[in-house]
């Protein structure tokens, strides 16, 4: 169970960082993405990354 929570947490952190990068316009991939340069997605990404970090910490206990 801990391994599953760890893997989901890592996936959440990775997706969150991608969303942050797209929201800030740092990552322009894919080019057609509606998320690029939209600051709202930066906040969504930060929230998802935070949830993922909490899951990682909890899986290590």
* Cα 2 to chain centroid, rounded: 20
d(C-alpha 51, C-alpha 21), whole Å: 17
Query: What mean pLDDT is predicted for residues 2-10?
Result: 98
pLDDT confidence of 5, banded at 50, 70, 90?
A: very high
pLDDT tens digit string along 26-46? 999 898 989 999 999 999 999
Name the average pLDDT for the chain. 96
User: How confident is the model at residue 21, as a pLDDT?
Assistant: 97
Interacting residues of 50 by C-beta distance below 8 A, sequence separation 6+:
16
User: How confident is the model at residue 54, as a pLDDT?
Assistant: 98
């Amino acid at each position: 169970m801990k391994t599953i929570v760890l893997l989901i947490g890592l996936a959440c952190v990775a997706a969150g960082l991608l969303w942050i990068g797209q929201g800030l316009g740092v990552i322009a991939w894919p080019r057609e993405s509606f998320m690029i340069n939209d600051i709202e997605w930066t906040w969504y990404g930060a929230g998802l990354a935070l949830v993922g970090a909490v899951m990682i910490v909890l899986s290590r206990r």
